């Protein structure tokens, strides 16, 4: 749960009084009046209760505390904005239903599961009460159906981060509707959502969710260039795109992202075996165009801007059609890409023909040493 302000002197005195008080105690104050000590834990000031819960740092304790009395329930319901139930091993759905009406101010909720527990009724309870929700993790919720996505679309329109990876029962129709209502989405994880992540759904996301910055489409193997190219034109703020295992995409997808997403920092193309040198040269060419576009002022401010703005992570493992010159061109264009073990951000495993590709650290070993020192500076 969120941290709160440090204890004031008055709150500290209240806590000390409560610890030594077994009942109502009237005592003489220094000014000649009387003081009344707190009579019960239920009399804790709101700020002190929230402070105690933040120090404990255990969401299970927050849940227990919410059942002490209506006062505590109301205080915690008002003050708790971040809650995780991922520790729950059994009966998570019943727990969510029992808690949703108590924590109506939640902004971040994690319901990640080791084994499937959550059902549509639990998600519907969240959608019915937690209208301020911004971030929701439903990963590995194998029992959920479209009912959950429709409920979230209606009840939680302010979502900015949604993780539904592994939710294989969702349809693309439900995802299309969600994107039409949750237009503020910035991070969306659809890894393994093989039915929901279709070209139709990606086109809807591109049309409605223009603020999207991170999209995981790993192993959504029905996606084609039609869907990915729409992202390049509709989501210019994309910084991270994972297309690992999207076996139907070709160079067209990478070209569209390279042209349309100037802030792209991470691209996953693992096992995309239709990717050829054309895609790599497109990435490199766009780096050069943007460098030229920054002009003289950017050059004077320092050459590190390209390092900060360009690709910093590229996974082309098992992309066996690529040749060393094309991949070397990408590596040379983006100084943040590294093949050295200490900063391995260019993944070329499984591509035996690319073993000759090296980052700048290989040519200038002292750079790697400086990089390692800077990584440990803090």
Per-residue pLDDT tens, the chain, 378 aa: give them.
Answer: 544 444 455 544 543 443 344 333 434 444 555 444 444 555 667 676 666 666 656 787 778 777 766 766 766 777 789 999 999 999 999 999 999 999 999 999 999 998 999 999 999 999 999 999 999 999 999 999 999 999 999 999 999 999 999 999 999 999 999 999 999 999 999 999 999 999 999 999 999 999 999 999 999 999 999 999 999 999 999 999 999 999 999 999 999 999 999 999 999 999 999 999 999 999 999 987 776 665 434 444 444 444 467 999 999 999 999 999 999 999 999 999 998 887 889 999 999 999 999 987 765 544 444 443 333 332
Task: Look at residue 42 in the predicted model and tell me its pLDDT.
Answer: 59
The strands making up 266-268's β-sheet, listed across from edge to edge, are 82-84, 108-110, 135-137, 161-163, 187-189, 214-216, 240-242, 266-268, 313-315, 346-347
157-196 residues labelled b (16+ CB within 10 A) or e (exposed): bebbbbbbbbbebbbbbbbbbbbebbeebbbbbbbbbebb
Task: Look at residue 60 in the predicted model and tell me its pLDDT.
Answer: 79
Q: What is the largest CA-CA distance in the chain?
A: 89
C-alpha span between 217 and 238 (Å, rounded): 13
- For residue 135, give the nearest of 113, 108, 112 by alpha carbon: 108
Distances in Å between the Cα of 229 and the Cα atoms of 175, 179, 258, 272 are: 18, 17, 10, 15
- For residue 126, give the nearest of 159, 151, 144 by alpha carbon: 151
Task: Look at residue 54 in the predicted model and tell me its pLDDT.
Answer: 67
Alpha helices in 80-198 (DSSP H): 92-99, 120-129, 146-155, 172-181
Contacts for 374 with CB less than 8 Å, ≥ 6 apart: none
- Positive or negative, the CA dihedral 112, 113, 119, 121 is negative
C-alpha span between 59 and 41 (Å, rounded): 19
Domains, the chain = 44-80 (no CATH), 82-289+310-347 (3.80.10.10)
pTM for the structure as a whole: 0.81
């Amino acid at each position: 749960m969120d941290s709160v302000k440090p204890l004031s002197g008055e709150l500290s005195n209240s806590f000390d009084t409560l610890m030594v008080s077994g009942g109502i105690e009237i005592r003489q104050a220094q000014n000649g009046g009387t003081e009344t000590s707190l009579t019960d834990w239920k009399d804790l000031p709101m700020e002190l209760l929230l402070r105690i819960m933040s120090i404990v740092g255990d969401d299970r304790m927050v849940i227990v505390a919410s059942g002490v009395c209506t006062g505590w329930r109301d205080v915690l319901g008002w003050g708790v904005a971040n809650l995780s139930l991922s520790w729950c091993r059994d009966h998570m759905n019943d727990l969510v239903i029992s808690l949703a009406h108590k924590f109506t101010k939640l902004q971040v909720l994690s319901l990640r599961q080791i084994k499937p527990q959550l059902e549509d009724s639990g998600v519907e309870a969240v959608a019915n009460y937690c209208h301020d929700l911004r971030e929701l993790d439903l990963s590995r919720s194998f029992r959920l159906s479209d009912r959950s996505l429709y409920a979230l679309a209606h009840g939680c329109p302010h979502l900015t981060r949604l993780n539904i990876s592994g939710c294989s029962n969702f349809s693309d129709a439900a995802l299309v509707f969600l994107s039409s209502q949750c237009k503020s989405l910035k991070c969306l994880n659809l890894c393994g959502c093989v039915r929901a992540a279709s070209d139709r759904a990606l086109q809807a996301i591109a049309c409605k969710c223009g603020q999207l910055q991170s999209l995981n489409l790993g192993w959504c193997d029905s996606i084609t260039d039609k869907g990915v190219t729409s992202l390049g034109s509709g989501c210019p703020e994309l910084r991270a795109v994972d297309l690992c295992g999207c076996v139907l995409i070709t160079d067209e997808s990478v070209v569209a992202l390279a042209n349309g997403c100037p802030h792209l920092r991470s691209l996953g193309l693992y096992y995309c075996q239709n990717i050829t040198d054309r895609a790599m040269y497109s990435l490199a060419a766009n780096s050069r165009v943007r460098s030229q576009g920054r002009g003289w002022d950017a050059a004077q401010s320092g050459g590190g801007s390209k390092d900060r703005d360009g690709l910093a992570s590229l996974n082309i493992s098992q992309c066996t059609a690529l040749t060393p010159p094309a991949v070397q061109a990408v590596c040379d264009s983006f100084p943040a890409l590294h093949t050295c073990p200490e900063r391995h951000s260019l993944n070329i495993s499984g591509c035996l023909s690319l073993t000759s590709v090296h980052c700048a650290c290989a040519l200038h070993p002292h750079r790697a040493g400086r990089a390692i020192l800077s990584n440990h500076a803090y």
